[in-house]
Structure 1
Amino acid sequence: MDRISGLPDDVVVKILSFVPTKVAVSTSILSKRWEFLWMWLPRLEFISRKPELRDFIDRKLPLHRAPVIERLRLDLYSPAIKPEDIRRWIEIAVSRHVRELKTNYYWENENIFPSSLFTCKSLVTLKLRRVTLVDIPSLVCLPSLKTLKLKSVKFVDEEMLQELLSICPVLEDLSVRCDDDENVKEFTINVPSLLSLSLVITDDWLLDGYEIDTPSLSYLKLEDWNDLDHNSLIKNMPKLREAYVDVRYPNLESVLESITSVKHLTICSEVVYGDGFVFKELEHLNLCMCREDSPNLLGKLLKDSPNLRILDISVVKDHATDELNGTVSWNQPNFVPECLLLSLQTLKWSGYYGRPQDRDIAVYILKNARHLKTATILADTEEHYVPNLQMIKELALSPRASSTCQLVFVEDLNSSV
């Protein structure tokens, strides 16, 4: 400690910035010099269920000395902390040119945001969880906001989400997890500047539909787990290059028709889409095999992806695997897909179970992929599946269209099952 005390104040503050705020605050009892050093910290995190935290923040935050608060995190769970307290603290942060604000505070139908937040010129990142968005003042703008993350946020009406997005002219990264919200039956995401969108819709929401209009988007993650019939209008995304699609409702085609420009696609679906789609740019496909119809979805995607180079087959982490023991057969394509004849170079199968359909798919690819360089099989060797040795024999002895294909067979210790 003597060595640290001999360092200049700015160096000590830099050191303190690498420890939790409560640890940095505890150093204030070391000496008179240390009493106020933590108040120069550019990053502050207040995470507590204790009611006494309210008085501490009230006394100390107004005395904070850093000219810019780079990050303020408020994860507060005490009923002693009222909405007006949060508003006051956020207002102080805005006056200190806050760049990142993260708030997790549940108080239903109460406004915790001062009007000054919506005109904060310094704010670059805003992360909200379990809060209610009650009102957005008129004639406001967040001119520097590039990242917005909303998790379990409630809105007082259906227009509130788009109103918030409309005041973010340079927004690039948007993440929205939509839980059941009785005030919202439909919503729109219309952001011309958006580059990355992550949208999660849970299964217990009485949702009528949603619309996405993001012409500059390059990355899309869509998880629509809602089983109820609802409309989804997704406008054309000509610049989209990577997509993660996990949908559990029949209208898969409404999604696919807007993402045909992707180079990298991760997909999990209960249904197989129809004809008329060609993924000309698709080079890397990740297919989740947790669904009953997954083998046939694979066959369709192979036919419709003429330039596919990399094929990853797996079960996405945390996905249900009740159907893995099913006996769905592999309906191989009527003709060999073009990608197998001309472009496929890499096959990786994580969590290979050795079921009949698994074996048939792997043998078919090895038999027809003329330019395959490596086929890596990471086998799940649980007792109720085919033993490891039998898996090796089935694939090692199968014919291969590529004389240079290297078959690598290892036990998958990280299988998601």
Structure 2
Amino acid sequence: MEGEPAAKRRRLNNIEKEEEEEEDEKAAKKADCISGLPDHVLHEILACLPTSIAVSTSLLSRRWRTVWTTSPDLSFTTGLSPSFVDSALRHRDPAVPLRSFSLATSDYAVSDPARARSWIDYAVNYSALQHLKLKLVLTDSIPAFRSFRLPPAVFRLQHLRRLELVDLDLSLVAGDAISKSCPALKCWRMSLFCGPPQLDVNCPLLEVFELTTHVGLAGGTSASAVAASGRCGCGRSSRAPHRLT
């Protein structure tokens, strides 16, 4: 009988604790206005973040657990971990179209060019892709990168509006490969390790075109530009003169 008051007090304490937790949860929900937004709005927020941070939002609450998996944007540009990229692509909902894809490697982060190519393959297999940014560092420390070639699907993106290629070797790419296959381009920027001998820039919607190469073929690289409006420019390095005609 003497234990009854103590047991009763414990029950009351548990009830009070549960009520306090419920109140705290209600207050948190009331204060968290962002979580109540529809998925497509949350996706626009995540689009401003590197994918590594977007994935970490899954820890915020049950509401956020799978939001990033249906995001149309992927950005692997900071603190790149190959195993993380593999995992993120594996867990992302493949039924959701990809709108933008950014990938920036470094010579110490990716030692297997085939792995980097598989990530690019993942992105360009989404025909509705609108933005593509690739930066693959080419250094003597990774000889295999010097023969790295972009997947053919890169040149079949009919809806691509923005293309940025950095530190790539396009010396074996046909001069009209991009213009012919990416007619919707509005912004086209390239800072290449090695450019093609000839480059046709014939995109009716093009507004911005910029080209710089660090290694050119004998006689340089010439770019013939035809654009409806906007600006076109070529960068000059010590070894690769360019001209627009």
RCO comparison, higher one (Cα < 8 Å, 6+)? 2
1:109 to 2:109 alignment: no
Structure 2 CA distance for partners of 1:31 and 1:49, relative to 1, 3 Å: closer
1:158 to 2:220 alignment: no
Alignment of 1:162-311 (within 5 A): 162=199, 165=201, 168=203, 170-179=205-214, 181-193=215-227, 195=229, 196-202=231-237, 204-205=238-239, 207=241, 210-213=242-245
> Amino acid of the residue matched to residue 90 of structure 1?
I
Runs of 4+ in 1 over 4 A off after TM superposition: 137-140
Within 2, Cα distance between the matches of 1:13 and 1:146?
Answer: 23
How far did residue 142 of structure 1 move?
A: 1.6
How far did residue 153 of structure 1 move?
A: 3.4
Tell me the equivalent position of 1:9: 39
Within 1, Cα distance between the matches of 2:147 and 2:204?
Answer: 27
Structure 2 CA distance for partners of 1:124 and 1:57, relative to 1, 3 Å: same
Contact map agreement 1:171 1:191 (CA 8 A) in 2: no
Secondary structure of the residue that 1:132 maps to in structure 2? coil
> Amino acid of the residue matched to residue 131 of structure 2?
E
1:87 to 2:122 alignment: no
Question: Bigger CA drift: 41-50 or 61-70?
Answer: 61-70
Contact map agreement 2:217 2:240 (CA 8 A) in 1: no
Tell me the equivalent position of 1:37: 67
Tell me the equivalent position of 1:375: none
How far did residue 16 of structure 1 move?
A: 2.9
How far did residue 145 of structure 1 move?
A: 1.9
1:149 to 2:177 alignment: no
Within 2, Cα distance between the matches of 1:142 and 1:6?
Answer: 38
Within 1, Cα distance between the matches of 2:64 and 2:137?
Answer: 35
Within 2, Cα distance between the matches of 1:206 and 1:5?
Answer: 51
Structure 2 CA distance for partners of 1:12 and 1:172, relative to 1, 3 Å: closer
Contact map agreement 2:184 2:205 (CA 8 A) in 1: yes
Within 2, Cα distance between the matches of 1:109 and 1:175?
Answer: 23
How far did residue 147 of structure 1 move?
A: 1.7
How far did residue 82 of structure 1 move?
A: 2.6
How far did residue 80 of structure 1 move?
A: 2.9
Contact map agreement 1:28 1:34 (CA 8 A) in 2: yes
Contact map agreement 2:110 2:116 (CA 8 A) in 1: no
1:76 to 2:115 alignment: no
Contact map agreement 2:211 2:234 (CA 8 A) in 1: yes
> Amino acid of the residue matched to residue 129 of structure 2?
V
Structure 2 CA distance for partners of 1:64 and 1:211, relative to 1, 3 Å: same
How far did residue 70 of structure 1 move?
A: 2.7
Secondary structure of the residue that 1:176 maps to in structure 2? strand
How far did residue 144 of structure 1 move?
A: 1.5
Secondary structure of the residue that 2:244 maps to in structure 1? strand
Contact map agreement 1:118 1:136 (CA 8 A) in 2: no
% identical equivalent positions: 25
> Amino acid of the residue matched to residue 100 of structure 1?
H
1:315-347 deviations in Å (ceiling 9; x for gaps): xxxxxxxxxxxxxxxxxxxxxxxxxxxxxxxxx
Tell me the equivalent position of 1:308: none
Q: Normalization by structure 1: what TM-score?
A: 0.43
Higher helix share: 2
Larger radius of gyration: 1
Q: Normalization by structure 2: what TM-score?
A: 0.69
1:135 to 2:135 alignment: no
5+ unaligned residues in a row in structure 1: which ranges?
A: 214-417
How far did residue 39 of structure 1 move?
A: 1.9
How far did residue 73 of structure 1 move?
A: 1.2
Within 2, Cα distance between the matches of 1:201 and 1:125?
Answer: 22
How far did residue 206 of structure 1 move?
A: 6.5
> Amino acid of the residue matched to residue 61 of structure 1?
L
Within 2, Cα distance between the matches of 1:8 and 1:17?
Answer: 15
How far did residue 149 of structure 1 move?
A: 0.4
How far did residue 72 of structure 1 move?
A: 1.4
Structure 2 CA distance for partners of 1:145 and 1:8, relative to 1, 3 Å: closer
Contact map agreement 1:128 1:153 (CA 8 A) in 2: no
Within 2, Cα distance between the matches of 1:39 and 1:206?
Answer: 43
Within 2, Cα distance between the matches of 1:206 and 1:47?
Answer: 28
Tell me the equivalent position of 1:98: 129
Secondary structure of the residue that 2:181 maps to in structure 1? coil
Contact map agreement 1:110 1:134 (CA 8 A) in 2: no
> Amino acid of the residue matched to residue 10 of structure 1?
H
Within 2, Cα distance between the matches of 1:129 and 1:59?
Answer: 25
How far did residue 184 of structure 1 move?
A: 4.4
